[in-house]
């Protein structure tokens, strides 16, 4: 059973630490691999101000990004946020930045 | 040739709520069937060449440019392009072009293709903007195009001008005849998939600059030139559909988007066979696959559910070689790396018995070993690392077999010849 969560972390580094905390091991080649079955999507830094462009696509105003880093997760076989994730969870309203293919967010989000 | 104890020639499958199944052709009692997981929808190319959406946990038998289907196993990917079948809406700009929605039959067979027409002989291009982190990122951008009025179609991915990649395509040859990276962009790959119904999927892979906006542009043309060059026509048009920009170093199957980015989950094909089936003292393990350039290690493994006993093929992160490795009771018995060409079909077989191992690659014996102990407790065949949690195989599976005996040299040559 899939449950969806959306998170805003203080920085990309913090997000990566949280992701690594879900479980990693090392293969024969010395490379880390995940030991969990959750699907992580790194959406990148929060956009504070969208860039502006003219009709030809030329930049009028540059995009401004926050340090905050957005992550979407499809949790596999858990019903609530893992320890340490809940305080970064958000429940956006309106149009979403991101969805999983064929999975309705409102129906499957962590309540 | 004696029949294998397990044979997977992708032909039959079943979806499911919890998991799907990929049926092996041997054994016939179901002991060789694989679990299949993909927690999201996805698309595939059907036998008639049309693209269709498939539900979660439904294995994808893909027929693109083939008379036989292959099992398509892809990694998780996100289409960052919004309104992939509309070419207008949030983050789109018209730039001296007009579009007509639902003007022609799309690669899906539906009346959803878009007519994209220039309105000036001056620079005319439709642009989509994607916001990104301030770092260099490798993307693959693709779009389906079909000839309209004229012969040329230009594309560009641009960061902070002049950093960009320009692509130029001709409909009469079906080829990208010009691909050029400038300044802070690096071009990695480009090519065209011909759908044989007038539609082409043009794609290019590149590493961006560190600009926080990526601009993707499209321009139908009567004459040769980049998207921002003037043209002799002010009415040239082409049909477009299915725009995709994904982070990653190769093209994957189409993901439809509307107002948000959409992620397709990875495909997992696991746990074919069991301990009774693989209770063998000698054998042959054969794979016929098209590995993708994942840039990570990805595996096909006959294993015991842990790292103690396994026969594995590792497709290496360099995208230029694979490694055959056998471990018995925690002790590595052999480790043989060979150069192969990714994105093309490769046939690899390893025959094993006590102190006698041979490896055949594409019809040629490439290695042999005499000091060897057979692994035991093998109980599953997975297109993944032995733990089945990561390093899932990325590519197409055409055929996979396990025999309970060492095949003869003539049989191994016949089996692995392309």
pLDDT at A27: 81
pLDDT for the residue numbered A57: 59
What SS3 class is residue A20?
Answer: helix
Q: Looking at the predicted structure, is the pLDDT value of residue A104 above 70? A: yes
Residue that the structure tokens 């993901």 belong to: B255
Question: Rounded mean pLDDT of chain B?
Answer: 96
Q: Which CATH number fits domain B6-74+267-416: 2.60.120.200, 3.40.630.30, 1.10.150.310, 3.40.50.720?
A: 2.60.120.200
Strand pairing partners for B238? Answer: B116, B147
Q: B255 and A101 in contact by Cβ < 8 A?
A: yes
**Per-residue pLDDT tens over the stretch B19-74:** 999 999 999 999 999 999 999 999 999 999 999 999 999 999 999 989 999 999 99
Phi, psi angle pair for B277, to nearest 5°: -65, -40
> Nearest CA to CA, how far is A37 from chain B (Å)?
6
Contact across the interface for B40 and A101, Cβ inside 8 Å: yes
CATH number of the structural domain B78-264 = 2.60.120.260
pLDDT at A51: 83
Residues in chain A within 8 Å Cβ distance of B259: 95-96
Domain residue spans in chain B? Answer: 6-74+267-416, 78-264
Contact B154, B225 (CB under 8 A): yes
3-state secondary structure of B410: helix
pLDDT of residue A55: 61
Q: What is the tens place of the pLDDT at every residue in B322-378?
A: 999 999 999 999 999 999 999 999 999 999 999 999 999 999 999 999 999 999 999
Mutation target to probe the A interface, by most A beta carbons within 10 A, among B17, B128, B212 is B212
Task: Give the lowest-confidence range in A47-51, B110-114, B239-243, B278-282.
Answer: A47-51
Number of cross-chain residue pairs from A and B with Cβ atoms under 8 Å apart: 119
With a cut of 90, say whether residue A50 has pLDDT above it.
Answer: no
- Return the pLDDT at B213: 92
Give the pLDDT confidence score for residue B387 in this predicted structure.
75
Closest approach of chain B CAs to the CA of A107, in angstroms?
Answer: 14
* A48-62, B109-123, B135-149, B257-271: the lowest-pLDDT one: A48-62
B5: alpha, beta or left? (left if phi > 0; alpha if psi -120 to 50): alpha
Residue B18 has pLDDT above 90, yes or no: no
β-partners of residue B243 are: none
Q: A17: distance to nearest CA of chain B, Å? A: 18
CA of B215 vs chain A CAs: smallest distance (Å): 8
The rounded percent of chain A whose pLDDT value lies above 70 is 95
Could you tell me which chain B residue has the CA closest to the CA of A66?
B133
Given a cut of 70, whether residue B182 has pLDDT beyond it is: yes
Q: Inter-chain contact B213–A95, Cβ cutoff 8 Å?
A: no
Predicted confidence at residue B179, as pLDDT, reads: 98
Contact B82, B128 (CB under 8 A): yes
Spatial distance between the Cα atoms of B44 and B216, rounded to a whole number of angstroms: 25
Do B260 and A95 touch, CB atoms closer than 8 A? yes
Both structure tokens of B123: 């620079």
- Higher pLDDT, residue A28 or B131: B131
Minimum CA–CA partner of A3 in chain B: B39
Nearest to residue B334, comparing CAs of B362, B366, B305? B366
Asked whether residue B398 carries a pLDDT value surpassing 80, the answer given is yes
More confident residue, A93 or B178: B178
Residue A56: per-residue pLDDT: 58
Domains B6-74+267-416 and B78-264 belong to one CATH topology: yes
**Per-residue pLDDT reduced to its tens digit, B284-310:** 999 999 999 999 999 999 999 998 999
B47-52 long-range contacts (CB < 8 A, ≥24 apart) are B48/B109, B49/B195, B49/B196, B49/B197, B50/B107, B50/B108, B50/B109, B50/B197, B51/B107, B51/B108, B51/B109, B51/B242, B51/B254, B52/B108
């Amino acid at each position: 059973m899939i449950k969806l969560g959306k998170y805003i972390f203080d920085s990309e580094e913090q997000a990566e630490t949280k992701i690594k905390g879900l479980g990693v091991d090392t293969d024969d080649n010395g490379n880390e691999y995940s030991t969990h079955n959750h699907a992580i999507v790194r959406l990148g830094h929060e956009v504070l101000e969208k860039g502006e462009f003219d009709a030809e696509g030329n930049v009028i105003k540059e995009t401004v990004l926050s340090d905050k880093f957005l992550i979407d997760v499809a949790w596999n076989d858990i019903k609530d946020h893992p320890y340490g994730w809940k305080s970064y969870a958000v429940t956006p309203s309106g149009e979403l930045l991101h969805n999983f293919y064929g999975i309705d967010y409102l129906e499957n989000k962590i309540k | 040739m004696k029949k294998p104890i397990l044979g997977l020639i992708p032909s039959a499958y079943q979806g499911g709520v919890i998991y799907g199944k990929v049926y092996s052709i041997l054994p016939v009692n179901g002991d060789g069937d694989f679990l299949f997981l993909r927690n999201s929808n996805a698309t595939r190319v059907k036998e008639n060449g049309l693209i269709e959406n498939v539900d979660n946990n439904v294995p994808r038998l893909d027929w693109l440019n083939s008379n036989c289907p292959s099992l398509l196993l892809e990694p998780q990917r996100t289409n960052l392009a919004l309104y992939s079948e509309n070419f207008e809406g949030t983050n789109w700009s018209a730039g001296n072009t007009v579009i007509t929605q639902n003007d022609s039959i799309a690669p899906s067979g539906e009346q959803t293709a878009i007519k994209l027409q220039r309105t000036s002989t001056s620079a005319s291009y439709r642009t989509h903007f994607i916001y990104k982190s301030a770092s260099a990122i490798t993307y693959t951008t693709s779009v389906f195009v079909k000839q309209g009025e004229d012969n040329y179609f230009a594309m560009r991915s641009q960061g902070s001008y002049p950093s960009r990649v320009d692509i130029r395509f001709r409909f009469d040859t079906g080829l990208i005849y010009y691909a050029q990276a400038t300044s802070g962009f690096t071009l990695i790959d480009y090519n065209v998939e011909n759908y044989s119904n007038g539609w082409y999927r043009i794609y290019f892979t590149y590493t961006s600059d560190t600009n926080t906006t990526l601009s993707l542009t499209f321009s139908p043309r009567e004459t040769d030139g980049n998207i921002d060059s003037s043209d002799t026509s002010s009415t040239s048009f082409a049909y477009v559909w299915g725009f995709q920009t994904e982070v990653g170093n190769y093209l994957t199957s189409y993901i439809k988007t509307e107002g948000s980015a959409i992620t397709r989950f990875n495909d997992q094909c696991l746990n074919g066979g069991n301990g009774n089936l693989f209770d063998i003292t000698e054998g042959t393990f054969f794979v016929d696959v098209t590995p993708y350039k994942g840039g990570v290690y990805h595996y096909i493994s006959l294993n015991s559910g842990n790292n103690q006993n396994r026969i594995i093929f590792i497709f290496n992160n360099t995208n230029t070689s694979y490694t055959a490795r056998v471990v018995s009771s925690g002790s590595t018995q052999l480790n043989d790396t060979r150069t192969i060409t990714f994105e093309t079909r490769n046939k690899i077989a390893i025959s094993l018995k006590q102190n006698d191992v041979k490896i055949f690659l594409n019809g040629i014996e490439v290695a042999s070993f005499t000091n060897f102990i057979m692994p035991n407790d093998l109980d599953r065949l997975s297109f993944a690392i032995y733990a089945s949690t990561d390093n899932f195989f990325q590519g197409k599976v055409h055929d996979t077999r396990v025999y309970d005996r060492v095949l003869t040299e003539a049989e191994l040559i016949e089996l692995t010849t392309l």
